[in-house]
C-alpha cells in the first residue's frame, strides 16, 4: 500500500484494482479489503464488512445489508433525554452545478436558535412538518414555502398532487381540466404525471434500498475557504455526488418493483435523464465539532504550536467532541426515514449512514432506536483512493486524519 499515508497502516489495505477514478466511483467502490481487521480490540467493529454491498447496492439481497444492531455498543449517556422537536419551515429546489437538482429544507427546533438544514436528493423524501397544513394558509402560501408536490412553474395554482385534485373532482378529469388547475406555461414542463395520475415524489420505492444519509457538521474553513487542515469539504462534495448517482436499471421482480420500474421509465421520459438514487445530507450547524468557529481558530493556532486536534480542544477547556445528534434523529424522522416500530412484517428500510465516526452511528439512532442504521458506508479520503492524484492533501490533513483514527477511533474502512 505504497500510496497510503503512514498512519493508515496497517488498518488500510489497498483499494482493489483498477484504481477508482473521479466521476466513476460508486458507493460500493469505496469498499476496501473485506478481510481487513480493525486493529483496536477495545473498539470492536460496529458493522461486519459483509454489510457493505459488494456490487450495485440496489441489486443485492437486502437481508445481506441488515445490521446486527444487537452487537452495537450502546452509549445512552450520549443521547439527549428526549428528542428535540423540529419543524421544516421552508424548502426550495436548487439546481446544482453537476446538473442534478436537490431540495434544501430549512429546519427550526426547540433546543437552539440555529437553522439546521436537510439537503435532499431525489424525489422520494418528503418532510412531514412541511407538508402538514398550516392554519389559514392559501395554496399560494403552500407553494411559497415549498409544500408542493411535483414541479413549480409560472401559473401553477395548486400545491396538491394531481391524484388529490382528481379525487376532489369526483372522476378522472380531462387534460383540459388539469391544465386549468396545474397547467404549465408554454415554456415550462408539466409535472411528471403517469397514466394512473400518480406522481413520483409521493412514495419511497423499496427497490431503491435503504436511503443513503450523511450527518454533516458545518465547517466554514473546509467548505468555504479551501482549508487543507481537514477533509470536511471533500466529504460534503462526495456525499452529494454519491446521492446524485443515477439509479441502476431496475430489476424486474414481482410486486412493488414492477410499478417502480414503470415509474422510472416515466420519469426518464419526462426529464430526459435518469433520476438520481437520492439520499439526504443532514447539515448541522455544529461548527468546530460544536465549539464554534472562533474557538476552532484558536484550536488551529494551538495545533500550529504542536498539539493535535483533540489536545487543542482540551487545552481550550472544551470536550474533544462537543456534538450530539438528537436534532439529526428528529430531522430524519420528520423526513420519514426513521422506523421506530419495526415488525417482522414491516421491518422498514432503515438508513445507510456515510461516516467513519462510530459515535455517530450509535448516536443518530436515538435513545430508543427511533432510526435504524442498517449499514455504515465508510468515507475514504480521495487522496488515498487515487494514490494522491485527487483530493485534499497536506501534512496538516495527515495529522488530522491520524488523530481521528488514533484518538477518536474513526474507522476508515467498512466494519
Ligand atoms: N475543534 C475542531 N474542530 C474541527 C477541526 N477540524 C475540523 N473540525 C470540525 O470537525 C467537524 C467534522 O468532524 P470530523 O471529526 O472531521 O468528522 P466526523 O463528522 O466526526 O466524522 P465523519 O462522519 O466520518 O466525517 C466539523 O464541524 C469541522 O468544523 C479542528 O481542528 N478542531
pLDDT at position 254 is: 45
Position in ligand 1 atom list of the atom nearest CA 313 = 1
Ligand 1 centroid distance, CA of 195 (Å): 48
* Cis amide linkage into residue 10, ω under 30° from 0: yes
The whole-number pLDDT of residue 349 equals 78
Cα(143)–Cα(158) distance, integer angstroms: 8
Buried/exposed 66-95: b ≥16 CB within 10 Å, e otherwise: bbebeebeeeeeebbeebbebbbeebeeee
Phi, psi of 398 (to 5 degrees): -55, -45
Q: What is the pTM of this model?
A: 0.75
Exposure of 260 by Cβ count < 10 A (0-12 exposed, 13-18 middle, 19+ buried)?
buried
C-alpha cell at 216: 454533516
Residue 191 near residue 183, CB atoms below 8 Å: no
Question: How high is the pLDDT of residue 245?
Answer: 86
pLDDT of residue 353: 96
| Distance of alpha carbon 142 from alpha carbon 159, whole angstroms | 6
Rounded CA-CA distance 74/77 in Å is: 9
List the residue whose alpha carbon is closest to atom 10 of ligand 1.
Answer: 289
- Closest residue by Cα to atom 6, ligand 1, is 230
CA distance 263 to 390: 37
pLDDT score at 203: 53
Q: How many residues does the chain have?
A: 415
Gap between the Cα atoms of 13 and 226, Å rounded: 29
Protein residue with least CA distance to atom 25, ligand 1 = 355
How does DSSP classify residue 145? T
For the CA of 219, the closest atom of ligand 1 is 29
Residue 271, pLDDT score:
53
pLDDT digit of tens for each residue in the chain (415 aa)? 444 455 443 333 333 333 333 444 554 433 333 333 333 333 333 433 333 322 222 223 332 233 333 443 444 446 767 899 999 999 999 999 888 899 999 999 999 999 999 999 988 899 999 999 999 999 999 999 999 998 999 999 999 876 666 666 665 545 544 444 444 433 333 344 333 333 444 456 677 788 999 999 999 999 999 999 999 999 999 999 999 987 765 544 444 444 455 555 555 555 555 566 789 999 999 999 999 999 999 999 999 999 999 999 999 999 999 999 999 999 999 999 877 666 776 666 789 999 999 999 999 999 888 999 999 999 999 999 999 999 999 999 999 999 999 999 999 987 6
The answer, yes or no, to whether any atom of ligand 1 lies below 6 A from the CB of 230, is yes
Q: Residue with the nearest Cα to atom 16 of ligand 1? A: 232
Residue 272: predicted pLDDT: 53
Choose the residue to mutate in 289, 361, 395 for probing ligand 1, maximizing ligand atoms within 8 Å of C-beta: 289
Cell numbers describing residue 158: 395548486
Q: Are 363 and 78 in contact (CB under 8 A)?
A: yes
Nearest to 352 by CA among 249, 280, 404, 276: 280
Dihedral (CA of 190, 195, 197, 203) sign? negative
CB 313 less than 6 A from any atom of ligand 1:
yes
If you measure from the C-alpha of residue 400 to the centroid of ligand 1, how many angstroms do you get, rounded to a whole number? 9
217 Cβ below 6 A of ligand 1: yes
List residues with catalytic annotation.
321, 323
Amino acid at each position: 500500500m505504497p500510496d497510503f499515508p503512514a498512519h493508515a497502516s496497517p488498518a488500510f489495505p489497498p483499494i482493489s484494482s483498477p484504481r477508482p477514478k473521479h466521476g466513476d466511483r460508486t458507493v460500493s467502490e469505496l469498499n476496501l479489503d473485506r478481510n481487513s481487521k480493525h486493529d483496536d480490540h477495545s473498539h470492536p467493529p460496529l458493522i461486519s464488512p459483509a454489510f457493505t454491498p459488494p456490487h450495485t447496492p440496489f441489486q443485492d439481497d437486502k437481508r445481506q445489508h441488515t445490521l446486527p444492531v444487537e452487537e452495537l455498543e450502546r452509549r445512552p449517556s450520549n443521547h439527549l433525554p428526549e428528542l428535540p422537536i423540529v419543524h421544516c419551515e421552508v424548502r426550495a429546489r436548487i439546481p446544482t452545478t453537476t446538473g442534478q437538482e436537490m431540495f434544501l429544507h430549512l429546519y427550526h427546533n426547540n433546543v437552539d436558535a440555529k437553522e439546521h438544514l436537510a439537503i435532499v436528493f431525489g424525489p422520494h423524501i418528503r418532510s412531514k412538518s412541511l407538508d402538514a397544513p398550516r392554519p389559514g394558509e392559501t395554496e399560494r402560501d403552500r407553494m411559497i414555502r415549498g409544500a408542493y408536490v411535483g414541479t413549480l412553474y409560472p401559473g401553477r395554482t395548486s400545491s396538491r398532487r394531481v391524484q388529490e385534485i382528481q379525487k376532489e373532482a369526483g372522476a378522472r378529469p380531462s387534460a383540459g381540466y388539469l391544465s386549468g388547475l396545474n397547467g404549465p406555461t408554454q415554456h415550462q414542463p408539466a409535472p411528471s404525471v403517469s397514466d394512473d395520475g400518480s406522481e413520483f415524489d409521493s412514495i419511497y420505492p423499496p427497490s431503491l434500498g435503504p436511503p443513503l444519509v450523511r450527518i454533516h457538521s458545518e465547517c466554514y474553513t473546509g467548505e468555504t475557504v479551501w482549508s487543507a487542515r481537514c477533509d470536511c469539504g471533500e466529504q460534503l462534495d462526495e456525499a452529494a455526488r454519491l446521492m446524485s448517482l443515477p439509479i441502476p436499471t431496475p430489476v424486474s421482480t414481482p410486486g412493488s418493483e414492477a410499478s417502480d420500474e414503470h415509474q422510472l421509465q416515466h420519469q426518464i421520459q419526462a426529464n430526459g435523464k435518469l433520476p438520481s438514487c437520492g439520499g439526504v445530507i443532514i447539515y448541522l450547524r455544529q461548527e468546530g465539532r460544536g465549539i464554534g468557529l472562533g474557538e476552532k481558530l484558536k484550536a488551529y493556532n494551538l495545533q500550529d504550536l504542536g498539539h493535535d486536534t483533540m489536545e487543542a480542544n482540551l487545552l481550550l477547556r472544551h470536550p474533544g467532541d462537543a456534538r450530539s445528534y438528537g436534532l439529526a434523529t428528529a430531522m430524519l424522522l420528520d423526513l420519514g426515514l426513521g422506523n421506530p416500530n419495526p415488525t417482522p412484517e414491516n421491518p422498514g428500510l432503515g438508513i445507510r449512514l456515510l461516516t467513519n465516526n462510530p459515535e455517530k452511528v450509535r448516536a443518530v439512532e436515538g435513545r430508543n432506536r427511533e432510526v435504524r442504521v442498517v449499514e455504515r458506508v465508510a468515507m475514504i479520503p480521495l487522496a488515498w483512493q487515487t494514490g494522491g492524484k485527487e483530493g485534499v492533501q497536506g501534512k496538516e490533513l495527515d495529522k488530522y486524519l491520524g488523530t481521528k483514527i488514533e484518538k477518536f477511533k474513526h474507522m476508515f474502512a467498512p466494519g
